[in-house]
Structure 1
Amino acid sequence: MLNRRTLLAFASIAATLGLAAAVPAHAEEPFKVGFIYIGPVGDAGWTYAHDQGRLALEKALGAKIKTTYVENVPEGADSERVIRKLAADGNQLIFTTSFGYMNPTEKVAKAFPNVVFQHATGFKTGKNMGVYETRMYEGAYLLGVVAGKMTKSKSLGVVASFPVPEVIRNINAFTLGAQSVNPTIKTKVIWVNSWYDPAKERQAAETLIAQGVDVLNQNTDSPATLQVAQEKGVYAFGWDSDMLKFAPKAHLTASTNNWGGFYIDTTKAVMAKTWKTGEVRGGLQEGMVKMSPLNPVVPAEAAKIFEEKKALIISGKFHPFQGPIKDQSGAIKVAAGAVLPLKELLSMNYYVQGVDGSIPK
């Protein structure tokens, strides 16, 4: 027979067990992912496209992750401070999304060996630092094909950001695409020395149009170039994202970046501890570059060539930097039938024949 002390002991144990059952198990902390942006998120352009990728990541992984972003971060010392803070705040994966963030990212990566860093458009890697970019020159080439068919003045214009290899590649690819359908075409370039400055972009576009340009492209982040084109009655293209809504009459098509798949795959790999450093470059074939629908004003003949060239690039049967290609001096840079080697593509520092002016030093 149980005495009173034994019964009280059983009661105490039962109460303790009941209490424990009522307290939920400690929820696992979400995996933290940080992003640093060169411009405002806005609703168009480079930064907008990256943030769309971040939102796709959130949608795919839900409560398993928590993302943070910091926008309008200048390249240089200030970016190092922001990257370092993201790492110190517990972000286990950090995406730094502009070329000028490369050296600061490398420096912070060495200080935080347990954090994975992914840098966009650079070339430096490390044990915990990889690089990624899209082959936007594929899209630029296709924009050139359309421009070559749409121009009447045979004069194209590019509003360019900084004279770094990725921008020079896009200018050259745009020109080569145009020359593939109209060999006499010339391209004029105005450098605004900013990734995002609507006022400078607008001024550059106006200047190019005043010089006789009737089709514009850009390697900048705002829709200002397109808006000027529509105001002046000429054509232009969206860049990094579809910009149709800003200038529906002028917008012929857009070469867009699609980062969502890469962000999802990379985050999953880091979470599973299967991530490895390296270089990722995706284009039309991988779906990281996509072309938006053609404006109905584009003639059927031009649309047919555009689609044929796109299919050839996707199949791997054609490369935008397939020879023969000459530089401004007439020197052969790529022999007939050859393709420019990746190393030379990534370090491109010259204009192809047909681009006016010189590259700023």
Structure 2
Amino acid sequence: MSLSKRTLLATAAVATLAALVGCGKKEEAAPVAEAASAAASAPAAKPEPLKIAFAYVGPVGDGGWTFAHDNGRKALEKEFGDKIVTSFVEKVPEAADAERVFRDMIGQGNKLIFGTTFGYMEPMLKVAADTPDVKFEHATGYKTAPNMRTYDSRTYEGAYMAGVIAGSMTKTNTLGVVGSIPIPEVIRNINSFTLGAQSVNPKIKTKVVWVNEWFNPPKETEAATSLINGGADVLMQNTDSAAVLKTAEDKGKRAVGWDSDMSAYGPKAHLGSAVINWGPYYIKATRDALEGQWSTGKAWWGVKEGAIDFVSVAEDVPAEAKAKLEQVKAGLKDGSFVIWKGPIVDNAGKEVLAKDAVADDEFLGGIKFYVKGVDGRVPGDGK
């Protein structure tokens, strides 16, 4: 029973009581008074929990990207308890089948849906247009709708910090990156990794091998092996499994973890992990929905918001490198340090950012070039 109905009932009961008392029928008024009191003090009906669904591109046990998102989902459950009910579907392809998954989630009563990879953008837009009463959150995309907003983490900040450590530890001055798909997000991370390494070691060169998938451990292993054979002795990846770190462990080289703390996958090889904490954003988005404050827009969170960190630094990393890492982390947190500040040139010698110029988010979101020091060409650059 709603509060307004209870109030009306109580008011009516009181009026009846007054009438009965006026007629001298006190013995009949007592039960009515008790009913009025009970109606007024009855607890409000408990609202139905908000149903929230997550679509994952990989398995929750990938140790990287999807594992990090699922940790964020668990943080939601811890924060809101029985106010929400969460569910997930793993290994949803970045294809038309994603649309079927989203519609199935809606059919199950979910009112807030998180799509956690770039390739879900178009299917999610299509479904969002058909279901205006459902709120959609799309990770790493750039298209929005009245009931669909985007969110991302500044993974390039983690890549830069990884570069600081990698540049301090390499013996060959050659780093290797296993790239997933050549979109601006991944190219930006490769470049930032290189810039971080060059900040402590100007001799750094970076080699890249693309696998054109987010999660394919055999391909990632093959790519990592190729980089090591090409002279790279410290590796990073922008793929979703721990295969690159495992390969470095097997080959006696070093590597950094990506998206999640991967130290357990290659203890001897592991130099540290660039991690994403999705929890703070997922908590904010859910609170917005619960409180009726949700609105469309774009969010891009980093070290400042507690979304990016570099953790579990290896014991043998020199003290000066650890100090540099902490200095960068503190600067990113308080805004006193900017990664993408000119002069920056591409690997063909063209200036892409003038001296003292600071890249804005539009610039960062459209990066399609390699910085100086990265070998080769960006796939599909037409050169």
Shorter-chain TM-score category? over 0.9
> What is the alpha-carbon distance in structure 1 between the residues aligned to residue 62 and residue 150 of structure 2?
25
Q: Which amino acid aligns with 1:56?
A: A
Query: Which letter maps to 1:266?
Result: A
Deviations 1:206-251 (A, max 9, x none): 1100111000000011111001111111110010000001111111
Distance in 1 separating the partners of 2:69 and 2:163? 24
C-alpha contact 2:194 2:206 (8 A) present in aligned 1: yes
What is the Cα deviation at residue 43 of structure 1? Answer: 5.4
Which residues in structure 2 correspond to 1:102-181 (within 5 Å)?
A: 102-181=121-200
2:65 maps to which of 26, 46, 54: 46
Moved more, 26-35 or 263-272: 26-35
Q: Is the 8 A contact 2:263 2:312 kept in 1?
A: no
SS in 1 for 2:376: coil
For 1:135, give the aligned amino acid.
Answer: R
Could you say which residue in structure 1 is the equivalent of 2:309? 290
Q: For 1:285, what is the secondary structure of its paired residue?
A: helix
CA-to-aligned-CA distance 1:258-289 (integer Å, 9 cap, x gap):
01111111111111111111111111111001
The gaps in structure 1 that reach 5 residues or longer are: 1-12
Unpaired segments of 5 or more residues in structure 2? 1-31
How many residues are matched?
Answer: 353
Q: 1:26 Cα deviation (Å)?
A: 6.1
Partner of 1:305: 324
Contact 2:62 2:242 in 1 (8 A): no
Select 1:223's aligned residue among 242, 257, 263.
242
* Residue identity matched to 1:317: S
Larger Rg, first or second structure (1 or 2)? 2
Which structure 2 residues correspond to residues 7-46 of structure 1 after superposition, within 5 A? 27-42=46-61, 44-46=63-65
The match for 2:229 is 210
Question: Match of 1:242, as an amino acid?
Answer: D
1:52 aligns to what SS in structure 2? helix
Give the drift of 1:303: 1.1
For the aligned residue pairs, the C-alpha RMSD in angstroms reads 2.5
Look up the match of 1:73: 92
Q: Which structure has more RCO (C-alpha within 8 Å, separation ≥ 6)?
A: 1
Could you list the per-position Cα deviations for residues 57-89 of structure 1 after superposition, in whole angstroms to 9, with x for gaps in the alignment?
A: 011111111111000000010111111211222
Choose the corresponding residue for 1:349, options 346, 368, 379.
Answer: 368
The 2-side partners of 1:26 and 1:309 are apart by: 51
Superimposed CA distance per residue, residues 82-110 of structure 1 (whole angstroms, 9 cap, x where no aligned partner)? 11211222111000000011111111111
Q: CA offset at residue 341 of structure 1?
A: 2.2
- State the one-letter code of the partner of 2:184: P
Looking at structure 2, the residues matched to 27 and 160 of structure 1 have their Cα atoms a distance apart, in angstroms, of 49
Distance 1:338 1:157 in 2: 28
Which residue in the other structure is 1:5 paired with?
none
Runs of 4+ in 1 over 6 A off after TM superposition: none
- Judge conservation of contact 2:62–2:241 (CA < 8 Å) in 1: no
| Matched residue, 2:265 | 246
